[in-house]
Structure 1
Amino acid sequence: MIIRNRMRVAAAIMGATALALMAGTQTPDARADTQPTIQNLVSAINSGLTTAGKALADTGVSSAPHSTIPTGNGPEMTDAIAAFTFSLANENMAPAGANDWNCKPSAAHPEPVVLLHGSWMNAYDGFARFSPEIKKAGFCVYALNYGQEGLLQQGGLGALIPGVNGVAPMEDAAQEVATFIDKVLTSTGAKKVDIVGHSQGGPVADQYLKFDGGAGKVDQLITFGATHHGTTLDGIATLGRRITDMGFNTLGFSQLLVGQGLIEQVAGSSFYATLDAAGDTVSGVHYTSVATDHDEISTPYDATFLKAGSGATVDNVTLQDGCGIDLSDHLSMMYSPRAVSIALHALDPAGHPDLVCEFNPYVL
């Protein structure tokens, strides 16, 4: 629970501090100036956030969703907690091996690999283990920090925490990914990319493939713990959805705390109704969807699995099949030697025919 609790504590402290500073430590005139912001926050909760963006635009605290391309490379990491800690002070650093814009794909590995991190994460702490391994296997590797958003305009408290991304609407995030992949294709001269995504990176990639021109630009989509069909968060999110459907907008309030990108991932959301209306897959793409049966974030864990539609192929893999000593959960699976070997096998079956089986602990 270390990483999750740190995030919650940091968010609560920063949010409470910000409100205290606005309401209690300024001059009377200054406090009066902040009242529209606080009132807009209350109004947004009551209205289900339907007018939050417009209402907050006049307060100076809103911003358009955007992404950044990490610069510099951090060290290779084999531990999720160490990577998270490093990213707090290095929030826009790429993982080792990523974002070499002079890299040219080889004939053996013609598709560059694009890495898509999960919710409240970044390119570094999401792929500090994967990226250098994929690079050493002979691939050009690229990563961005997508889904950034302002404090009160759909981004929630994550906007206050260093290294937190993936909080903006996933529709916007997919468009950011589209722009980034076009940059990768132009730089490398490649015709297609392979995508490796974790958690929210899965549905963002799905959105890109289905609605933002990605179908002809992606050869493979390889995901780990992806919320392809949403999550119940072990039933908590489903309860929130049911209460919201009864008329009390608990999810709207939660959105102000964690960001719209996370709320959209609740199973049964309108985002998935649109995303999955025509099926799980896109013709011409090979999918590998990896789950861990210890996942406590993307639940039920097998909801990440996909059904192949016309012209697509799917491999659904449970991390513990054939390797019961791997105890990886939602976060630590990105530091699992077995998970890395599954990714490498999907990218290059001939070069990496065997899967690793080693102990890997859970984090949460």
Structure 2
Amino acid sequence: MAAAVALLITAGTASAEPEQLPVNYSVAQWFIDANTAKAPFTPPGGNDWTCVPTAAHPEPVVLVHGIAGNGAGWPAMSPLLHNNGYCVYSVTYGIYPGQGGLIAGAGGLEPIPQSSKELRDFVNQVLQQTGAQKVNLLTWSEGTLVAANYLLFDGGNDVVDQSFNLVPIWAGTHAADPLVNAAYGLNVAPEIFAALRPICQGCVDMLPVSDFIHNLQAAGVYAPNVHYTNLVTRSDTEVIPYTSGIREAPNATNIVLQDVCPVNLAGHNSVSVDPTVAALMLNTFGTPTEVPCAPSPSPSI
């Protein structure tokens, strides 16, 4: 009888373990997934609306993609979280109504405040379906700004515990400065920004001169009840300077990737599929994990 009981316990434990999925630390795989996926843009291990949070991981994790991305583009972080017992959900935001053709699945193009409301509605759906009281966010690039707006202005402060932010853009990015300076020099900046509004207002909102960035900075960037972890890389060629993602506060932790692993030169995109970054994320969300250190296979990308 004791042996039978032990067998039943073992079987029950085994059935409770999540199916182990491949974790693909590949920029190429991210690019393929994001650019070939069709709605509803589900990443491996993500958007299982029957998932029940466990006592070990009571807070689902919501993934928030970057500019021109979608919810399918998480080949490493989504299955890794799933394999470790988290309920994982990946939002797709910022697709203009009627958007089709080559950019049918390119998110993040709408104004960031509009995308923020889409994130709010998605998180509310996750809370309702799972019965969880709060979620954690894993945000990336433009997604850091969408989440910041949500946390400050659209109710996220009350239902989000932590936000782990990959290459955040709190002060905007100067990557487009040559074009922006030329537009101002030719006195056509208002016309250019107006022309971009129906095409990619999200692109404009990330500029340091944008009203969105000015309003975010004036509001203090951080919501008071959320803990922020900001992961930046000195090899970032899209958030310029990379220190745009560093902001001190009692409820914020700032991590420079090269301070953790000097030989890891992962860039703006490859941080989303990097083993060192992934381990730091798991530790932040409460899963003790050894942090590896190795050169990035996709430096500065």
Task: Give me the TM-score of the superposition, normalised by structure 2.
Answer: 0.85
Q: CA deviation at 1:162?
A: 4.2
Establish whether residue 79 from structure 1 lines up as the match of residue 26 from structure 2. Answer: yes
CA contact (8 A) 1:291 1:317 kept: yes
Q: Secondary structure at the match of 1:219?
A: strand
Contact 2:172–2:213 (Cα < 8 Å) also in 1: yes
Distance in 2 between residues matched to 1:326 and 1:236, nearest whole Å? 29
Question: Counterpart of 2:232?
Answer: 291
| Alignment-derived partner of residue 122 in structure 1 | 70
Find the aligned partners of 2:231 and 2:284 in 1 and give their Cα distance: 11
Structural mapping, 1:23-102, within 5 Å? 76-92=23-39, 93-102=41-50
Q: Secondary structure at the match of 1:334?
A: helix
Distance change (3 Å), C-alpha of 1:86 and 1:208: closer
Q: Letter of the aligned partner of 2:58 in structure 1?
A: P
**Corresponding residue number in structure 1 for 2:279:** 341
1:247 CA drift (Å): 4.7
Structure 1 counterpart of 2:263: 325
Distance 2:198 2:31 in 1: 20
- Give matches, 1:104-143, under 5 Å: 104-125=52-73, 127-143=74-90
State the secondary structure of the residue aligned to 1:231.
coil
**What SS does structure 2 have at the residue aligned with 1:263?**
helix
Q: Quote the offset at 1:163 in angstroms.
A: 2.7
Q: CA deviation at 1:268?
A: 2.4
Indicate conservation of the 8 Å contact 1:227/1:304, yes or no: yes
C-alpha displacement of 1:239: 2.4
Q: What are the superposed Cα offsets for residues 287-327 of structure 1, whole Å, 9 maximum, x if unpaired?
A: 0000011111111001111232xxx5111001111312212
Question: Where in structure 2 are there 5+ consecutive unaligned residues?
Answer: 1-20
| Distance 1:159-1:299 versus aligned 2 partners, 3 A rule | farther
> For 1:106 and 1:96, how far apart are their aligned partners in 2?
20
Could you say which residue in structure 2 is the equivalent of 1:168? Answer: 110
* 8 Å Cα contact 2:67-2:142 kept in structure 1: yes
Q: Distance in 2 between matches of 1:85 and 1:281?
A: 33
Q: Which residue of 2 aligns with 1:357?
A: 293
Flag the 1:129–1:174 CA change in 2: closer, same or farther, 3 A: same
C-alpha contact 2:137 2:160 (8 A) present in aligned 1: yes
Residue identity opposite 1:255 in structure 2: L
Paired position in structure 1 for 2:4:
none
Task: Output the CA distance in 2 between the equivalents of 1:237 and 1:343.
Answer: 35
Deviates more, 1:193-202 or 1:323-332: 323-332
- Partner of 2:24: helix, strand, or coil? coil
Query: Post-superposition shift, 1:242?
Result: 4.3
Q: What is the correspondence of 1:188-207 to structure 2 with a 5 Å cutoff? A: 188-207=130-149
Letter in 1 for 2:204: I
Which residue in the other structure is 2:9 paired with? none
Q: Residue type matched to 2:270 in 1? A: S
**Conserved in 2, the CA contact under 8 Å of 1:227 and 1:298?**
yes
CA offset digits 1:4-59 (Å, max 9, x no partner): xxxxxxxxxxxxxxxxxxxxxxxxxxxxxxxxxxxxxxxxxxxxxxxxxxxxxxxx
The one-letter code of the counterpart of 1:291 is V
Structure 1 segments of 4+ aligned residues over 3 angstroms from their partners: 234-238, 240-244, 246-251
- The structural deviation recorded for 1:161 is 2.1
1:35-89 residue CA offsets vs partner (Å, 9 max, x unmatched): xxxxxxxxxxxxxxxxxxxxxxxxxxxxxxxxxxxxxxx9743211223124333
Whether the 8 Å CA contact 1:91–1:122 is kept in 2: the answer is no
Q: Give the paired residue count.
A: 279
Structure 2 counterpart of 1:48: none
Conserved? CA contact 1:117–1:145, under 8 Å = yes
In the alignment, structure 1 segments of 5+ residues that lack a partner are 1-73
Q: TM-score, normalised by structure 1?
A: 0.71
Q: Please tell me the residue identity of whatever aligns with 2:26.
A: D
State percent identity of aligned pairs.
Answer: 31
| CA offsets 1:143-167 (integer angstroms, 9 cap, x no match) | 121000157xxx8xx8742431110
**Distance change in 2, residues 1:354/1:234 (3 Å):** farther
Q: CA–CA distance in 2 between the matches of 1:317 and 1:258?
A: 34
